[in-house]
Each structure stands twice: as C-alpha cells, then as structure tokens.
C-alpha cells in the first residue's frame, strides 16, 4: 500500500492556449493560421490514454471556435474558455466544470506572462512552455500506468455527462422526477481480476469522494482478491444515455466482530445522483446479514469533506481520532438508508 496522495498526480486535463501554442500565428491578424506540426496526433494520443483537453485563450470566441471546427478538433475540447478574461479565471471555470483538482491540470502557453499569471493564482497547476509540446506523449504525468476501457472512453463519458447536465438545466420539475427520468441502474459486484486495472485507476484518480486518499496498485488489489480476510466491491452506473463506467470501489477487511472499510470511493462525475449512498447502504446491509457492525477508516485529505458528510448522514459516528486527520468511524447498523426509488440496483 503506497499511502501516497501525491504531489505529482497524473494529469487529467491538458488546457491549451491557441495563438502561438495550438497553431502558428495570431488568428485576429490572419485567418491563415496553421496547426503546429504533430499537434493533432499528440491530442489524439493523449485522448486515447483518457486525458481530457480544453482551451484557455484570449481571442474572439466565434472566430476561434470556427477555426477549431475547420481543423476538425472541436470534439476533443471540453468546456473551452475563449474570451478576454484572465487565463487563471478560465482555468478555474474549466476545473469547476470538469470537477477535477487544479493539481491535475496542465496549462500550455507560449507566453511567459500568461504562464506566470496562472502560476501565481493557481500554484497547483502545472504550466508548460508551448515550445515543449512535442515532448508531451513522453511526459511522466501524461503516462498512466494502465489504460483501461473506462479511460479510453473518458472523453465520451464526459460528453454524455454534459448532455445530461444540459437536459437537467432545462428540466422543469422536482429534482427527483428528473432523476427518475434517467432510468438509472447501479450494478454492484465483487471485483474480478479483470476489474483490477480500473480499480487501481480509481484509487489514483479519485480524490474528492474518497475516504482516505490511499492508493493501491494492481498487485496489492490482487492479493486482497485471493484473501478470505478482504472483500473488494466495484460498481457500474448505467442510465438511458449509456454507461458511466465503473465508478465506485470499496475495500472491506473482515474481522471476527466487524467489517472495516479500508477504502470507499466514488467518481465525482456521479456526485449529484446519490449513488455513493446507495453503494454504502448495500455494504451496510451485507454486513448486517453477516451479523457484523461496520467501521471505516477516514483520513482528512483537505478535499474529501463531502465523503465525511456522506458517512455522517449514513449514521456513522466517530469513535477514535488521531493525528494527521485520521479518524475511525463506526456504524451499529440500527438504521440504514433505503435505496431511493429512482435507482434500480442489480447485485451480481
């Protein structure tokens, strides 16, 4: 177990400037700008690894977007920010829309002033001189240990999420009615060996809805699978728009008197659907059937407050507090939240 929450997390999104960075020249001075050599292939390569792309550029929105469409690259850029705002403001908006950490963003710009401005406002962001763009495919923070089926589809999963958000914004009626209209199904199973690459990826990439921030590698997770002392649960969410992929993971240690959650996490992409509570209630019910109570490790990482609140609402209470924000929680299972009517649960 690495226990490493990491100062050098994998990059989840590369944010590009346009003039002098993505293309040669300045669009407002000449419409005859050309993509820099190899840019298209680099973007496609990173996309195939599950790394997202966006834009933070000072330019005219309509002209810039028309040029990006002309280059047939528009599908790669999520939540592009093209305006006359400070680049730091644009990056913050991208970060909020993608719901990822600033420390998982790489910003590429040819202008030292722009990089310095972003670095001053967001020191967590990794800023790179555009002259180094050819080295991106070899950059260690852009080379995930595994490329899973979920990571290959990541951009498409986000595009589907954008569609859901748009429909939700336009929906007139109670939130629960909208959730009901999604026809959601949560599929929960004990992990198999073919799930372990995705399981490792989840521990590395999931920071907000994560009880400890501890990462586990493939070999560690494989040992848990072969041990009678542990259970590893994984879940997938589907709705009428398709699959969200494998979005939840729970590692349970089985003792004589209780089940102890060593790790519980949920992708932030499904934060607003209440899926984490459903997954947690399933585990609590399974422990109750086995005649156990449930304990859970919790470590304050500075970013997982929402997970702590989720556990408190699920009737966990603190029974032990240590230094470095480490807490032991316990649930006596006298009251377990029921599954909401808008999520169909399948146990495999």
pLDDT at 223 over 70: yes
**Count of residues for the chain?**
348
Q: Which helix (H) or strand (E) holds 8?
A: none
What are the tens digits of pLDDT across the range 225-242? 999 999 999 999 999 988
| Highest-scoring range by mean pLDDT, 53-67, 146-160, 299-313 | 53-67
pLDDT bucket at 254, cuts 50 / 70 / 90: very high
pLDDT at position 5: 36
pLDDT at 2 over 50: no
pLDDT bucket at 7, cuts 50 / 70 / 90: low
Mean pLDDT, residues 253-276 taken together: 92
Contact 275, 248 (CB under 8 A): yes
Average pLDDT, the chain: 92
Mean pLDDT, residues 60-70 taken together: 95
pLDDT at 3 over 70: no
pLDDT at position 169: 87
pLDDT bucket at 6, cuts 50 / 70 / 90: very low
Gap between the Cα atoms of 289 and 338, Å rounded: 15
SS3 (DSSP) at 231: strand
Mean pLDDT, residues 243-271 taken together: 93
pLDDT at 308 over 70: yes
Q: Which helix (H) or strand (E) holds 230?
A: strand 230-239
pLDDT at position 303: 86
Contact 15, 56 (CB under 8 A): yes
Least confident of 17-21, 46-50, 117-121, 303-307: 303-307
What percent of the chain is modeled with pLDDT above 90?
77
Gap between the Cα atoms of 99 and 9, Å rounded: 15
pLDDT at position 210: 92
Please report where in the chains the tokens 């790179």 appear, as a residue.
128
258, 312, 249, 311: which is closest to 286 by C-alpha?
258
pLDDT bucket at 1, cuts 50 / 70 / 90: very low
> Which comes out higher in pLDDT, residue 145 or 195?
195
| Domains, the chain | 13-142 (3.40.50.1000), 149-347 (3.40.630.30)
Instruction: Quote the tokens at residue 243.
Output: 């699959």
Mean pLDDT, residues 333-345 taken together: 95
What are the tens digits of pLDDT across the range 176-216? 899 999 999 999 999 999 999 999 999 988 888 899 999 99
Mean pLDDT, residues 253-281 taken together: 92
Contact 18, 59 (CB under 8 A): yes
């Amino acid at each position: 177990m690495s226990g490493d929450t990491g100062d050098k997390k994998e990059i989840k999104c590369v944010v590009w400037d346009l003039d002098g960075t993505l293309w040669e020249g300045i669009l407002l001075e000449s419409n005859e700008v050309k993509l820099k050599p190899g840019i298209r292939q680099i973007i496609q390569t990173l996309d195939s690894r599950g790394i997202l792309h966006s834009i933070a550029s000072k330019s005219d929105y309509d002209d810039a977007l028309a040029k990006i469409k002309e280059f047939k690259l528009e599908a790669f850029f999520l939540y592009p920010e093209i305006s006359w705002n400070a680049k730091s403001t644009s990056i913050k908006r991208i970060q909020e829309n993608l719901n990822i950490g600033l420390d998982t963003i790489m910003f590429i710009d040819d202008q030292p002033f722009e990089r310095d401005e972003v670095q001053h406002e967001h020191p967590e962001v990794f800023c790179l001189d555009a002259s180094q763009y050819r080295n991106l495919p070899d950059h260690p923070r852009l080379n995930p240990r595994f490329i899973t089926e979920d990571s290959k589809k990541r951009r498409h999963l986000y595009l589907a999420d954008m569609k859901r958000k748009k429909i939700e914004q336009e929906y007139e009626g109670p939130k629960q009615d909208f959730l009901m209209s999604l026809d959601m199904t949560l599929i929960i199973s004990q992990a198999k060996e073919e799930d372990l690459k995705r399981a490792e990826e989840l521990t590395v990439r999931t920071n907000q809805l994560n009880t400890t921030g501890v990462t586990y590698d493939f070999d560690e997770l494989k040992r848990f699978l072969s041990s009678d002392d542990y259970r590893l649960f994984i879940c997938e969410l589907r709705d009428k728009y398709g699959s969200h992929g494998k979005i939840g993971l729970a590692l349970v240690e089985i003792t004589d008197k209780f089940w102890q959650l060593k790790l519980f996490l949920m992708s932030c992409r499904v934060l607003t659907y209440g899926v984490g509570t459903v997954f947690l209630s399933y585990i609590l019910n399974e422990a109750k059937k086995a005649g156990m109570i449930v304990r859970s490790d919790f470590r304050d990482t500075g970013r997982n407050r929402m997970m702590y609140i989720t556990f408190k609402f699920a009737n966990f209470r603190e029974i032990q507090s240590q230094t470095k924000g480490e807490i032991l929680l316990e649930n006596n299972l006298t009251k377990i939240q029921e599954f909401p009517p808008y999520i169909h649960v399948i146990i495999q």
